[in-house]
Structure 1
Amino acid sequence: MKIDIEKLSLPEIEALLVAAERRQRQLSSRRPLALVRRKAIALAAQHGYTIDELYGHQPVAEIAVKKRGLRRKTTKVAAKYRDPDNKRNTWSGRGRMPVWLAQKTKHGRSVTDFLIPGLAKPTARKSSAIGQRKLVKQG
């Protein structure tokens, strides 16, 4: 950490000196690292462990971090909707509606117009009305 002393005002320099003296007292009052390490090894041995068994090969900072549970892999889902103009534009009906479909439904077409024949019922709705059900016949 570099501090440009030339740019500091008198109160800032005095505050810096007080903070430096406080840090110096704190560091000088700590026990030597070798002594603390020996005591930790002795305490672990007293309980029948070694330091490697307690901490392994990981740094101490990594042990304290809580690990998240494993995430399930998401499986690929077959496409239900296809753009007739560009066959590569497909959508499974999950997640956010793709731009190409949103633009076409904005211009008056229905989402069901883009269903791939022979697949399940549509999952996307332009406007979702709570409590209303819509039956779509396939075939």
Structure 2
Amino acid sequence: MVEKVLAYIISIRNNTYQMLVHEHKDMPEAGLQVPGGTVDPGEDLVVALQREVFEESGLHDLSASELVASAPFLHPEKQELQLRHFYLIQTKQQLPGTWDHHVFGKGVDNGLVFRYTWYDFTSIPPLAASQDQFLHLVRKIIQAHPRS
């Protein structure tokens, strides 16, 4: 089983919660996704999360994270059994509304260009490979905490 970490990155923008997603600039058929990737053998999950977010988005200093859920997932295209760990990260950084990022690292995404954009949390389109399966839990976390 391959371990994966995925990041639900949210921010209060325009007085509402928004979540960061990306699409492959040259492969829109890959669908909307959240930053994430493979945990290296022996690597701490939070360290892997921070590394993957940095490699895939260029964002750093996002150390405050909360585990939302972990669950097995059979990736339909890869026929790979994954244990996916979804984390919630709330950032107060002033980030652009959209940007392109050239992915780096040793993974298969190295060299790809991801186009990032923010969506109002209430209107996030379906995410690829069931990456949205725990957004209902994020909604509960958001509702339990006042905007800060």
Which structure has the larger Rg? 1
Instruction: Indicate the structure with greater strand content.
Output: 2
TM-score range, shorter chain: under 0.3
- TM-score by length of structure 2 reads 0.18
Bigger relative contact order (CA 8 A; separation at least 6): 2
